[in-house]
Structure 1
Amino acid sequence: MPGPTAPHPWQARFLVVESMWIWYRRNWRATVVSTVLNPVFFLVAMGFGLGSQIQPGAATGGYGYAVYLMPAMLAAGAVQNAAGESTFPILSGFKWSRVYWGMTATPITPAQVATGQLLWILFRLVFSGIVFVIVGAALGVVTGAGIILSLVFAVLAGMAFAAPLVAFAATIEGEGTAFNPVFRFIVLPMTLLAGTFFPVTELPALVRPIAWITPLWHGTELARAAAFWNLEFWPVAGHMAYLLALTGIGAALAVRNFRRRLGV
Structure 2
Amino acid sequence: MSSREESERIHSAALASAVAAAARTRRYGSWYVAEHRFRVMGTYAQTVLFTAIGSPLVYLYAMGVGLASLVDGNVGANALTGVSYLVFLAPALLASSAIAVASEEFTYPIMLGLKWNPTFFGMNASAIQPGQVINGLVISVAARMLLTCAIYYVFMLVFGAVPGALGIVAVLVALLTGLSFGVLVMAYTITLKDDTGQLAMVQRLIVLPMTLFSGTFFPLTLLPPYLQWIGWISPLWHGTELSRVFAYGMSEPLWLSLVHVLYLTALLAIGWIWCRRLTVRRLNK
- Measured against the shorter chain, the TM-score band is over 0.9
Show the counterpart of 1:245: 266
Question: What stretches of structure 2 of length at least 5 have no aligned partner?
Answer: 1-10
TM-score by length of 2: 0.86
Show the counterpart of 2:231: 211
Show the counterpart of 2:254: 233
* Contact residue 219 and residue 239 of structure 1 kept, 8 A: yes
Q: CA RMSD in A?
A: 1.8
Distance 1:124 1:176, change over 3 A: farther
TM-score by length of 1: 0.93
Within 5 Å, give how 1:120-135 maps onto structure 2.
120-135=140-155
Show the counterpart of 1:117: 137
Matched residues, percent identical? 35
* Residue of 205, 211, 220 corresponding to 1:185: 205
2: CA distance, partners of 1:8 / 1:101: 15
Partner SS for 2:197: coil
Question: What stretches of structure 1 of length at least 5 have no aligned partner?
Answer: none
Show the counterpart of 1:261: 282
Given residue 29 of structure 2, which amino acid in structure 1 is its aligned partner?
Answer: A
- CA-to-partner distance for each residue in 1:176-198, whole Å, 9 max, x for gaps? 51111110011011112201110
Within 5 Å, give how 1:93-108 maps onto structure 2.
93-108=113-128
Q: Which moved more, 1:76-85 or 1:168-177?
A: 168-177
2: CA distance, partners of 1:127 / 1:155: 10
The answer to whether the aligner puts 1:6 opposite 2:26 as a matched pair is no
* Residue of 47, 58, 62 corresponding to 1:41: 58
Q: 1:33: how far off?
A: 4.6
Q: Which moved more, 1:192-201 or 1:39-48?
A: 39-48
- CA-to-partner distance for each residue in 1:118-145, whole Å, 9 max, x for gaps? 1111111111000111122122222244
Greater helix fraction, Structure 1 or Structure 2 = 2
Show the counterpart of 2:170: 150
1: CA distance, partners of 2:41 / 2:68: 35
Show the counterpart of 2:6: none
Distance 1:65 1:185, change over 3 A: same
* Contact residue 159 and residue 247 of structure 1 kept, 8 A: yes
Q: 1:238: how far off?
A: 0.7
Given residue 240 of structure 1, which amino acid in structure 2 is its aligned partner?
Answer: V
Q: Which moved more, 1:81-90 or 1:172-181?
A: 172-181
Q: Which has the larger radius of gyration?
A: 2
Partner SS for 2:218: coil
1: CA distance, partners of 2:161 / 2:100: 21
* Contact residue 26 and residue 127 of structure 2 kept, 8 A: no
* Contact residue 114 and residue 255 of structure 1 kept, 8 A: yes
2: CA distance, partners of 1:176 / 1:59: 43
Task: Give 4+ residue runs of structure 1 displaced > 4 Å after superposition.
Answer: 33-36
Equivalent pairs, count:
263
Partner SS for 1:207: helix
